[in-house]
Amino acid sequence: MPISKPSIALFGALLSAHLKRLGLTQRDLARRLGAPDTWISAIVRGKKCVRWDTAVRIARAVGVSLDELAGGHDQEGKGDAR
């Protein structure tokens, strides 16, 4: 089943929020992952879908769980209200 555009956009928005909270830039994340800045930018803007293994690498690089980065928990660690 394909991933929906809102899900891709949510992942990017949550990634952006975590980067800001940690004081990291997209370039910082790109360097941690050994990836191009433009690739990270496309993910943050919701223009690029990532594979699960890549999502796990991103979550580890940012220091959050994959569940949190995918929108399963809010900032306080409570379950998603959906």
Q: What is the pLDDT of residue 73?
A: 61
The matching CATH number, chosen from 3.30.300.250, 2.170.190.11, 3.40.50.300, 1.10.260.40, for 5-69 is 1.10.260.40
pTM over the 0.75 mark: yes
Q: Which two tokens stand for residue 51?
A: 């594979």
- 48-74 residue pLDDT tens: 989 989 999 999 999 999 988 887 765
User: Which of 61, 78, 69, 73 has the alpha carbon at shortest distance from 7?
Assistant: 69
Domain spans of the chain?
5-69
* Secondary structure (DSSP) of 30-51: HHHHT--HHHHHHHHTT-----
What are the start-end ranges of the H helices in 1-82? 5-22, 26-33, 37-44, 52-62, 66-69
